[in-house]
Chains A and B, each alone.
Chain A
Amino acid sequence: MAQHNTQGKKGGWAFVCGFALAFLAGWFFFGNHFAVPPLYGKKTQPVAFSHKVHVEDAGMACKECHYLEANGRWSGIPKLDKCIECHQEPQGDSKEEAEFIKNYVKPHKEVPWLVYSRQPKNVFFSHAAHLKIARFNCKVCHGKMGYNDRPPVYVYSRLSKYPQHTVIVMEACMKCHKKYDAPNSCFTCHK
């Protein structure tokens, strides 16, 4: 009788151990708070672009680089030509800017920015509808991007290769669309 009890206690411990181990490991490795391998990977942007410097020190407005074109398309991240308007010559004395000019401006190579909110290829996202009709503030989806001093670390999933920041999955879109009476049919957002 006594043998069973001790065994039962040990078995109980095994269960708790297993549970705790798996639980913690699951939350640690697969939750997006720590963002560690094996599932997650981290990258840095090729150029350490500072929004703060450009907005405060250079006095630029957001819509100088990010605007709605006349045909309704969103300009997205500006092309190298926009940077060259000012950065043909160094504007400050930071090391990052010098590297930027050496690696991208001089050979006229487009900067391969990592897009935090990259969507699958068959998604059509309309900035025009969300800015003008839904009247969203950029912060709703892009967080405090416009105020940062260094670009945030780009965290992505090594399996699916998608960025893990503003995780807009279809369900999140549809919930909001339902709430605000926007159409939820497939062809609204897919192509």
Chain B
Amino acid sequence: MLTRRGFLQFIVGGVLGTVFSPLPWRMADELVLFSQRWTPQGAPGEESWTYTICQLCPGGCGLKVRKIDDRVVKVEGSLLNPISQGGICPLGAASVQYLYEEKIRVKKPLKRTGNRGEGKWQEISWSEAIDLLTNKLKELKSSGETEGLLCIDGSISRVMAGLLKKFCQAYGTSNYVHLNQDAGTALALKAMQDHRGAVGFDLENADYVLSFGSQILEGWGAPVKLQATYAYWHEDRLKPRAKLVQIEPRMSDTAVKADEWLPIVPGTEALLALGMAYVILKEGLYNIRFTNNANFEAFKQLVLTNYSPASVAEKTGIAEKDIIRIAREFAKAKRPLAVWGRGKGYNSTGAYEVMAIHALNALVGNINRKGGVVFFKDITEEIWPEVSNIEIKDLATFSQAKMALICEANPVYKLPTFFGEALKDVPFVVTLTPFLNDTALQSDLVLPTSFYLERWEGVTTPRGFIYPMFGLSRPVRKPLYNTQHPGDIILKVAQNLGLGQELPWSNYKKLLQDFVERLYARGEGELLKGNQTFPLPSSPRAMWDQLMTSVWTNSGVVKEIKKFDFVPATLAEIKTKLGWEVKGNGKDYPFTLIPCERFILAENMGSVPYLIKQLPDTVLKGNDLCIEVHPETVAKLGLRDGDYVYLKTPFGREKVRIYCYECIRPGVIGIPVGLGHKGYDEYLAGKGINAYALLGCVKEATGITSCVLGKANLLKI
């Protein structure tokens, strides 16, 4: 009979027995392991490394990509590449997110259902998509309206751009525009030197650099190369090799690192350049190399009459003594160099400014010299001379387009008041893009292209580099989604249209191989790998193989200058206005609005989360964009730092927040560019506003359009 006591003793016995058995210890271990909470982890696998070249900007940085099995896990700089020398920029480092972020990639060809901008698509097959595109092109051709095809190109690779130019030529349209092309520079250099080709700035060997708003350390030119150049300048921290003078209305990160920052009134850069030219001419500090047959006397007359430092000082906001001092320092330096290309150099500064700044270079005689500005024919022009005849058209010159073919560009975002509006009247818009961006949303047919890590590409001379270069960007993995190389798409369409003679390649890789063969056939140049130089190998096939880890350069390229003309007649037009036709009168819009570019805000590609993560909260707060305003201006309006305010321009009105920034000119408002996207995903879309929508376009008397400044007002809410 079990009593209560017995029962209790049974229980106690049981407990003791349990204690002496493995149960408690096993269960403790098991519960510890059971309660561990693991989040998804990268699976281990075989590691492999591939060398390739980045294609997120025209900088041409060599990369070393790490893969685990067939997953790309890291993108690093390659020490074998003479451009980047092992470094990498934030965009390149974030390449893996660009590749893998599912929601921003276009996975299949899309045909629009619903209205433009609604984002309603029907997934179609490639054959259907190519047929649709081919038929539309055939339609235009049969009605004799091939000029109705507008091709907007944003390709980073000039080989791809060359293919598109060839296609346009073969098809029969001259309406080709490349969004990264600086029409202002092209126009200026044509007038001054009859030059069509590459421009290089030898910053590495310069010892006095005058930068007119060029954000040299934030994505201008070949970004990583210039970072390395900056480190080279400051190798001895007490005796830097070069002095950098940054001339811009706000203190950008480049101005932070520069030796001197001149806060100039926006839009008056050309005046300042001519004011400095005055000092150089007056004090006879110029080099006589370019004064013969160059309209020098007329130029000298023009400058000495109109652009004295005193008169220029008032308009530009730079003290007269500073203008004189800087001009003297510049002219007396051993290897002075004046560079142009505001911000990252993608927005044209207009022809006048380039002419004025380049005149400074001519005055100190640094053209085609070590540490100066050099001119040569780029390799794409040498190999495909037939495409260099395409006029570099300004954005505003295309008239009624019947069809728009947009290749890896985002014109609806970049120029919303212009392209965004104009595209509404274009009956059929086709976009070739890897990402579902603003332009794709407004298109009728979206053809997904492979990301650079998934395709072959030819990399030509990085921007601002001083001699021609060619490299191969190889695919690191096969395409994740049902995408194709834009070159393959164009070649297929060309074949269907019967343009096989002008474009005889069956696919893009064959085109590249042909390109390399022709490059090899020229017999010029050498191969660079790390810091070693090798002669050209024994065959084109060997050259192709070598290009997997080295780059071709032609350091002995002929640096040509056909003539030089100071173009005083053209420069004289500056004195009528500031040169720009800015919309908005001074009363309703008392402030000047300038775009603020940042390294990590990539306009063409959009920025991925790892880049947006780094934005300080003085640029983006929640989903609100913050504009830079001088505390004086803010106080005058009776506002405070962090306040909401309406930013009104002749092109629109948006709600933003104020960031009191002391290092911007009073009366100037800086608006960060690169945010305010539509399309993409929740990490980027809807954050901030599109600065270009408010900046609008300004036009110059030369016909160049740009978005370098605007007029604005701040209204209290």
Chain A residues near B (Cβ < 8 Å): 7, 10-27, 29-31, 39, 71, 73, 120-121, 157, 159-162, 169
Q: Given contacts A10-B3, A22-B15, A157-B30, is CB(A27)–CB(B10) below 8 Å?
A: no
B11 and A18 contacting across the interface, CB-CB below 8 Å:
yes
How near does chain B come to A10, taking the closest CB pair, in angstroms? 5
B389 within 8 A of A: no
- Which residues of chain A come closer than 8 Å to B5, judged between CB atoms? 7, 11
Q: Type the 1/0 row for B1-33, where 1 means its CB is closer than 8 Å to any CB of A.
A: 111011101111111111011110011011101
How near does chain A come to B35, taking the closest CB pair, in angstroms? 9
- A112 to B27 Cα, complex, angstroms: 28
A22 and B17 contacting across the interface, CB-CB below 8 Å:
yes
Interface of B is mostly: helix
Q: List 6 A-B contacts (CB under 8 A).
A: A7-B6, A14-B13, A16-B13, A18-B14, A157-B30, A160-B30
B17 and A159 contacting across the interface, CB-CB below 8 Å:
no
- Which residues of chain A come closer than 8 Å to B13, judged between CB atoms? 14-22
- A176 to B178 Cα, complex, angstroms: 67
A14 and B30 contacting across the interface, CB-CB below 8 Å:
no
B47 and A26 contacting across the interface, CB-CB below 8 Å:
no
B10: which of A17, A25, A157 is its contact (CB, 8 Å)? A17
B9: which of A18, A23, A31, A162 is its contact (CB, 8 Å)? A18
How near does chain B come to A112, taking the closest CB pair, in angstroms? 13
Q: Given contacts A18-B14, A73-B47, is CB(A26)–CB(B21) below 8 Å?
A: yes
- A162 to B30 Cα, complex, angstroms: 9
Q: Type the 1/0 row for B44-76, where 1 means its CB is closer than 8 Å to any CB of A.
A: 001100000000000000000000000000000
B26: which of A25, A30, A73 is its contact (CB, 8 Å)? A30
Q: Given contacts A10-B3, A26-B21, A30-B22, is CB(A159)–CB(B30) below 8 Å?
A: yes
B31 and A26 contacting across the interface, CB-CB below 8 Å:
no
B17 and A26 contacting across the interface, CB-CB below 8 Å:
yes
B41 within 8 A of A: yes
- Which residues of chain A come closer than 8 Å to B15, judged between CB atoms? 18, 22
B9 and A27 contacting across the interface, CB-CB below 8 Å:
no
- Which residues of chain B come closer than 8 Å to A11, judged between CB atoms? 3, 5-6, 9
How near does chain A come to B529, taking the closest CB pair, in angstroms? 22
Residue of B whose beta carbon sits closest to that of A26: B21
B34 and A26 contacting across the interface, CB-CB below 8 Å:
no
How near does chain B come to A89, taking the closest CB pair, in angstroms? 26
B399 within 8 A of A: no
B17 and A19 contacting across the interface, CB-CB below 8 Å:
yes
- A159 to B26 Cα, complex, angstroms: 11
How near does chain A come to B469, taking the closest CB pair, in angstroms? 32
- Which residues of chain A come closer than 8 Å to B293, judged between CB atoms? none
A21 and B14 contacting across the interface, CB-CB below 8 Å:
yes
B531 within 8 A of A: no
- A15 to B31 Cα, complex, angstroms: 29
- Which residues of chain A come closer than 8 Å to B30, judged between CB atoms? 39, 157, 159-160
How near does chain B come to A152, taking the closest CB pair, in angstroms? 21
A30: which of B21, B31, B36 is its contact (CB, 8 Å)? B21
- Which residues of chain B come closer than 8 Å to A22, judged between CB atoms? 13-18, 21
- A121 to B36 Cα, complex, angstroms: 11
- Which residues of chain B come closer than 8 Å to A169, judged between CB atoms? 29
Residue of A whose beta carbon sits closest to that of B47: A71
How near does chain A come to B535, taking the closest CB pair, in angstroms? 31
9 smallest beta-carbon distances between A and B, as pairs: A26-B21, A18-B13, A22-B17, A160-B33, A19-B13, A23-B17, A18-B10, A18-B14, A15-B13
A27 and B29 contacting across the interface, CB-CB below 8 Å:
no
B17 and A20 contacting across the interface, CB-CB below 8 Å:
yes
B17: which of A21, A29, A121, A160 is its contact (CB, 8 Å)? A21
- Which residues of chain A come closer than 8 Å to B23, judged between CB atoms? 26, 29-30
